[in-house]
Amino acid sequence: MRSGWFTPAIRDLIERMYGIRIKIVVPMRSVVGLLSDRGHFICKPYPYRQRSDKERLYAMATVKLHLAEQGIGFPFLETIRGKPLLCDRDRMYTVEPWLEGRHANFVYDSDRKWAIFAIARLHTTKISIPYVLQTPKLVDKLHDRWKKARKCFLQGNHFSDLARDFSQLDRAAFEVLKGLQQPSVQRQLEKDRRRNVLCHRDLAPHNIIIKKDFGATLIDYDLVGIDAPIVDLHQMLTHMSFFFRKHDVFYDELISLYADQAPLTSTHREILALLQRFPMISSRELVQSSWTQTGPVCKVASLRIVDAVGADLARLAR
């Protein structure tokens, strides 16, 4: 969704319902920055198709409020009616502080470490989490994800040169899913889920702000939920391997830094080792590529998929 949604009518609605006077609007990809008489804010739209959409957004607002009370991030700005979000026909809107800083760059050692500290702090913060934020089990998520990716690859007919490489990734995905169904692994994952740990679940570099006074803040809690913390840790390490391929030099160090804040069992480390062999990057690019929806594959999507397959194969070779 591009920022064309922020029409003059929506601007007027935001000003009236939040009691602010907008001076400058800064269009971004899916949100808009607002420079107002009350400070700088980010306004984001959400679809409102059914009641569960509203329930989840309210749950997210509750989580952000509880985290802010613990010194983590900031809550949504309340409307003049004391609500953390604004509902209008088929959309909902939130407004929150526009944080100073820059997006994380995992090439930098300091950014990687600050990001790990931020995740560990999130996982060890005890707050009340609404039940609506429960998520599917890890094995089920990965199974569904690879099933979709495999279907996209087979239907595309654009990557015959990658058939052998993809077959290797397909075997790796099967072995990982098989390993995650071991009784000891299942017990650990279920134990983690029962701990009601809040996980971010979307730890891309653009969702991590490196502050000017150092330290990192997590933003964009759209996918937040109760999950196994090891999922967040693996997700970040996967992003690092995508943006910084030779990650062996810092992998063990980052695991140790995390474990200092949020202890890991031997089974956790076994799960991480398994997940490192799952073709996460390829599955993401295949499912998100434009040709799965529009037919012809665009050049950029094609290159990203080729690069993703190469990245996953490189991880398997290590």
Letter for the amino acid at 225? G
Both tokens of 12, joined, read: 């007027």
Domain end marker among 63, 98, 133? 98
pLDDT at 297 over 90: no
Q: Is residue 113 part of a domain?
A: yes
123-153 burial: b if 16+ Cβ within 10 Å, else e: beeeeebbeebebeebbeebbebbeebbebb
Q: What phi and psi, each to the nearest 5 degrees, are found at residue 227?
A: -155, 180
The predicted-structure confidence for 23-46, as pLDDT tens digits, reads as follows 999 999 889 999 999 999 999 999
Separation of alpha carbons 32 and 187, rounded Å: 44
Q: What phi and psi, each to the nearest 5 degrees, are found at residue 157?
A: 55, 25
Q: Is residue 63 part of a domain?
A: yes
On whether both 225 and 181 belong to a single domain, the answer is yes
The predicted-structure confidence for 282-293, as pLDDT tens digits, reads as follows 898 888 874 545
On whether both 72 and 121 belong to a single domain, the answer is no
The predicted-structure confidence for 185-215, as pLDDT tens digits, reads as follows 999 999 998 899 999 999 999 999 998 877 9
pTM: 0.88
Cα–Cα distances (Å) from 38 to 12, 18, 20, 96, 219, in that order, read 16, 10, 6, 12, 21
Burial class (CB in 10 A: 0-12, 13-18, 19+), 286: buried
Q: Is residue 103 part of a domain?
A: no
Number of compact structural domains in the chain:
2
